[in-house]
Structure 1
Amino acid sequence: MKNTVHLVKLSVGTEDVANLAQWQTMRQAQTADGLPRHVTRMWPKREAEVLNGGSIYWVIKGQILCRQRILRLDEVEGSDGIRRCAIVLDPELIRTAPTQKRPFQGWRYLKPEDAPIDLGTARADDDALPADLSAQLAEIGVL
């Protein structure tokens, strides 16, 4: 899609895609209308591009494993009085081809041409490979 950009974000403490989905069902990870959200300090400067079909790509244990469509950006105020950005997400987690990603702080922009491909529904329920094997295959370009 033209004029679209994605975000990539570490999912710290998450063991796998199922664990991320479980976390997002918890009340503190949801908006008032029940949608999953991720709250961050920074507001994307490229907001229009993010909201033009962008997704957040989740890095779990050093690999991008899934993505979620970004529906909107909400301003929220923490108990400390600081305004933050709530990235409101489609509840559907779309599995992607495992892609290695080094640790980083916050979130980063991801060009559509650099985003990993979706695995599709045919492989969405496949058992996950062991992390070390998946990382080695991704490193040589097999996955």
Structure 2
Amino acid sequence: MTKVAFACPNLDVLRDRLAISGHTTTRFLPKRHTEMVGGSLFWIMDHALVARSEITGFDQPEAGGRWAIRLSGLIPVQPRARRAHQGWRYLEAADAPPDLAAGELAGAVLPGKLLRELARLGLD
């Protein structure tokens, strides 16, 4: 599953936000929610998948009718171009980027628009 890390300019801000709340919200419960528990929610920042959080469950609607997606941790992944979108989208396992190895840094991550253009040209 993919979701834009709204109002998070970097992974540290997202990590802090998740440490406080432990969840994100969505307007609609995914139809495949039972099979998604134990899977991952991949975060989009600057038009690129940059991290993932394990989905530990879904809670009944909060005030305002939004569903809580309970999450565990934040694991950086090898950046992969992904267009921003509203809400969430399913992500097939074959399209999921691998985690960064322990101690590996993403370094100077290319902007998502450039990553997308390189992928379009077959140079990713």
**TM-score range, shorter-chain basis?**
0.7 to 0.9
Shift of 1:135: 5.4
Structure 2 residues not aligned, in runs of 5+? none
- TM-score when normalising by structure 1: 0.75
Q: State the AA in 1 paired with 2:28.
A: M
Q: Any conservation in 2 of the 1:14–1:61 contact (CA below 8 Å)?
A: no
The RMSD of aligned alpha carbons is 1.9
CA distance in 2, matches of 1:101, 1:55: 16
> Taking structure 2 as the reference length, what is the TM-score of the superposition?
0.85
How do 1:1-143 residues align onto structure 2 when only pairs under 5 Å count? Answer: 7-26=1-20, 30=21, 36-51=22-37, 53-78=38-63, 82-90=64-72, 92-123=73-104, 126=105, 128-132=107-111, 136=114, 139=118, 140-141=123-124
Larger Rg: 1
SS at the partner of 1:83? Answer: coil
**AA of the residue aligned to 2:36:** V
Shift of 1:16: 1.2
Change (3 A) 1:96 1:135: farther
Gaps of 5+ in 1: 1-6, 31-35
* SS of corresponding position for 1:93: strand
Are the equivalent residues in 2 in contact too, given 1:42–1:84 (CA < 8 A)?
A: yes
* 1:42 counterpart SS class: coil
Q: How many residues align?
A: 119
Cα displacement (A) at 1:137: 5.3
Moved over 4 A (4+): none
